[in-house]
Chain A
Amino acid sequence: GAVVSQHPSRVICKSGTSVKIECRSLDFQATTMFWYRQFPKQSLMLMATSNEGSKATYEQGVEKDKFLINHASLTLSTLTVTSAHPEDSSFYICSARDSGGSQTEAFFGQGTRLTVV
């Protein structure tokens, strides 16, 4: 299957700092990428849909100014958690849809475990 690389896999940061997470599609182009958040023993919660060259679409309750999304190319989307607080600690996962493939398939990155201390 297609490969989505997410970096870093684990990050610890101090409260008040910002953290950037990258999501790259390695062998396909992705006009659409998705950012999820997953709490322990819970399912994935969609945060936003990232579209190449345009503004991301955020789900209700997700702060746009806190979770900045940039999808500047067909293979890269970034999520920046600004002014991070301990309650932002979570597992963040991106997924990407192959623009040239089935619209029903989305491939996931390995996830990023963010810990804010």
Chain B
Amino acid sequence: QKEVEQDPGPLSVPEGAIVSLNCTYSNSAFQYFMWYRQYSRKGPELLMYTYSSGNKEDGRFTAQVDKSSKYISLFIRDSQPSDSATYLCAIQKNFNKFYFGSGTKLNVKP
């Protein structure tokens, strides 16, 4: 069983839609949860990170963690074409190792 599972998509939505991206993980020992955005042929950039259950909001982005279900989500409000990218969830158990999801490719159509 993979440490982190993520639906690869692709996910296609119209501009302005609310996007929901999700990951599940297997180990309850994981402590830190992150979302990265990766444009084609570029390195990932950190969008958000959180370490507790609940919601964390940053502009149009909301990260949600449900530790009881081992489920994390990223919501994007008022999606824009510039949001089109691959979104990777990442989970950290200790300070030395990240586990990445396979990435969900998002396409926001104008």
Contact = CB atoms under 8 A, between A and B. Distances in A.
Interface of A: 1, 4, 6, 32, 34, 41-44, 46, 49, 91, 93, 95, 97, 103-111, 113
A111 B39 CA distance: 11
B79 to A, nearest CB: 22
Residue of B44, B96, B100 with highest tally of chain A CB at under 10 A: B44
Contacts of A109: 43
Given A43-B103, A104-B49, A49 B97 contact: yes
B80 to A, nearest CB: 20
Given A104-B49, A108-B45, 9 more contacts: A6-B43, A34-B98, A42-B102, A43-B100, A108-B43, A108-B44, A108-B46, A109-B43, A113-B41
Max chain B Cβ within 10 angstroms of own Cβ: one of A42, A104, A107: A104
B95 to A, nearest CB: 4
Nearest to B102: A43
B49 A105 contact: yes
Contacts of B44: 44, 93, 108
Counting from the closest, the 4 A-B pairs by CB-CB distance are A108-B43, A43-B102, A103-B95, A43-B100
B43 to A, nearest CB: 4
21 contacts: A1-B45, A1-B46, A42-B102, A43-B6, A43-B88, A43-B100, A43-B103, A44-B44, A46-B97, A46-B98, A93-B44, A97-B95, A104-B32, A104-B51, A104-B95, A105-B46, A106-B98, A108-B44, A110-B42, A110-B43, A111-B42
Contacts, number: 53
Most A C-beta atoms less than 10 A away, residue of B43, B45, B95, B96 = B43
Nearest to A4: B43
Nearest to A42: B102
A33 B101 CA distance: 20
Nearest to A94: B43
Given A104-B92, A108-B44, A43 B49 contact: no
